Chains A and B, each alone.
Chain A
Amino acid sequence: MRRPTVSVEGISKRFPGPRGGPPQTVFENVWFGIEGGEFVCLIGHSGCGKTTILNILAGLDRASDGAVVVAGREIDGPSLDRAVIFQSHALLPWLTAEENIAFAVRSRHPDWTRAQIADECRRWIDLVGLSAAAGKKPAQLSGGMKQRVGIARALSVRPKILLMDEPFSALDALTRGMLQDEVNRIVGETKLTAFMITHDVDEAILLADRILLMTNGPNAKIAEVVVNTLPRPRTRHDVHHLPGYAVLRNHILDFLVDRSRRLAETMPTGWDPRRIPEVRPAVPA
């Protein structure tokens, strides 16, 4: 069997129940794959274990069952090849923006000279448009600028896979839009494999090639995979004018508003966690 670049194979997460009760299952028997160079978004309500799935992919958390296979090898902890952009940016507050990025570059290239690392930092700072703020501490930066540093830090280790945990959810709409365009551009240019958690439907449609829809927890499941057939390149300015956008958006919204709750109770007959149905709402029947 041919495996995709990232293959999630039957992972579960259970926590011991309170006072010796039955264990609480967050999600169980989750299967999905991400092809090389593909952008996949995972949408679901809070508490369905989205972040746990991302942490398992990152190697920061362990699945109770199942495995994640990346490039043919089961993962066993974090790796520089799988960079994470954290929701709370997670910059080290005692380092300047530039030093935060240098910390990552130094991790990837321990043998580099100071000048080489400084050059590489410059490159990433310029790329995310932070040249004026390079010497500032995170506390002196706005939320959007902090997340830019977070993005530059994640990209500066030149990962093969980029994992993003609601990276823009704490930002205002204007900043969020700008950063979405930037991430879209950078991921497109670098042919990165990307996995993003979000609960912003427009964000998912703009960025993702495929969108995984997750039911409510506990016992959350991936109910279906929405294939985004809207043509690339997409930008924030034109994506909502593309034919099929409204249908796609309504399909996902319907899921979030209604079906995610109903499906949490009973999945339709014939639903197989290993062969999740793919839908293409934007393609006219």
Chain B
Amino acid sequence: MLVSRPFASLALAALLFALFVGVWQLSSATSPAGEVIVDPEYAALVGAAAATGGKTPFPSPIEVGARILEHFADPFYVRGTNDQGIGIQLAYSLGRVLAGYGFAALVAIPLGFVIGMSPLLYGALNPFIQVLRPISPLAWMPLALYTIKDSSVSSIFVIFICSLWPMLINTAFGVASVRREWLNVARTLECSTLRTAFRVILPAAAPTIMTGMRISIGIAWLVIVAAEMLVGGTGIGYFVWNQWNNLSLSDIVTAILVIGLVGMMLDQLLATATRVVSYQE
């Protein structure tokens, strides 16, 4: 294994970041040289920016940084339905993800357990799982909107359906591949089915189940942004779309950064949980 040098890595990371910001600063600083002369009446009518035909310049790192600080200084303000703090939008998204993901876990883990223990059920349900799994979760959106008739619940349903499969498949696989000798130990000790399930199969399959849960939370966080762009109303995905309509690129960059950070935190949370239940053979 390579010798890890945390300080060197950190220094290099800082250097790369500085380089990235520097290039960004230089490229966004080049403003159009000449003034374009327009009819002042036309400018008054359509707005100065549109009249000059100029594009909204990509914000410089300093502008974005200032915007990020503004957002972080007051993340929970509410000034009407379309103007709410980034913290509130994140809370909406997280709430939907946790609801959909939670329901999916409640369904997938017990169902996966049963499928993993029964080759008959495994064979019977496998074709359905294989067909349903590759479907983009957003393809369910119209059906969800039609049947559920509530956009927020529909996005929760979409999260549910996309988090379901990795957890289901990993649970079934983990349960089915528990070492035969551990099951034999439980049998010679005359353990009941329930005791074997909770004291032997569950801990043996826990690392595999947790890996499925980690994959699922990653997918759910990817999908919620797209789902909220589609259904609108609230949430970080809607926030991104709304700021695109406002042509507020600084806000979009802020949102992208925040989405990444929250996604990383969710992943790390599940990674820690996986470490807790993992064991060394």
**Pick from A58, A80, A103: contact of B199, CB under 8 Å:** A103
Are B185 and A92 in contact, with the CB atoms below 8 A? Answer: yes
Are B200 and A92 in contact, with the CB atoms below 8 A? Answer: yes
Q: Name A77's closest neighbour in chain B (CB-CB).
A: B187
Q: B-side binding surface: helix, strand, loop or mixed?
A: helix
Q: Name B281's closest neighbour in chain A (CB-CB).
A: A93
A interface residue count range (under 10 / 10 to 19 / 20 to 34 / 35 or more): 20 to 34
Chain A residues 64-90 with CB under 8 Å of chain B are: 77-80, 82-84, 86, 88, 90
Are B188 and A83 in contact, with the CB atoms below 8 A? Answer: yes
Q: A residues within 8 A CB of B277?
A: 94
**Pick from B190, B191, B203, B281: contact of A79, CB under 8 Å:** B190
Q: How many A-B residue pairs have CB under 8 A?
A: 57
Let me know if A60 is at the binding interface, CB within 8 A: yes
**Pick from B185, B191, B279: contact of A90, CB under 8 Å:** B185
Q: A residues within 8 A CB of B179?
A: 90
Closest chain A CB from B66 CB (angstroms) = 51
Size of interface on B: residues with Cβ below 8 Å to A: 20
Are B279 and A137 in contact, with the CB atoms below 8 A? Answer: yes
A88 to B187, alpha carbons, bound, how many Å? 16
Are B203 and A92 in contact, with the CB atoms below 8 A? Answer: yes
Q: A residues within 8 A CB of B181?
A: 86, 88, 90
Are B188 and A84 in contact, with the CB atoms below 8 A? Answer: yes
Q: B residues within 8 A CB of A157?
A: 189
> With A78-B190, A103-B199, A107-B190 known to touch, is A93 a contact of B279 (CB < 8 Å)?
yes
Let me know if B193 is at the binding interface, CB within 8 A: no
Q: Name A100's closest neighbour in chain B (CB-CB).
A: B185
Let me know if B115 is at the binding interface, CB within 8 A: no
A88 to B277, alpha carbons, bound, how many Å? 23
Are A139 and B203 in contact, with the CB atoms below 8 A? Answer: no
Q: B residues within 8 A CB of A86?
A: 181, 184-185
A77 to B190, alpha carbons, bound, how many Å? 9
A139 to B206, alpha carbons, bound, how many Å? 18
Are B188 and A60 in contact, with the CB atoms below 8 A? Answer: yes
Are A58 and B188 in contact, with the CB atoms below 8 A? Answer: yes
Q: B residues within 8 A CB of A88?
A: 181
A137 to B195, alpha carbons, bound, how many Å? 21
A78 to B196, alpha carbons, bound, how many Å? 14
Binary CB contact string for chain A from 124 to 139 against chain B (1 if under 8 A, 0 otherwise): 0000000000000111
Are A103 and B203 in contact, with the CB atoms below 8 A? Answer: no
A90-B179, A103-B199 given; name 15 further pairs at CB < 8 Å.
A59-B187, A60-B184, A77-B187, A78-B184, A79-B188, A84-B188, A86-B181, A88-B181, A90-B182, A94-B204, A104-B189, A107-B190, A107-B191, A137-B280, A139-B280
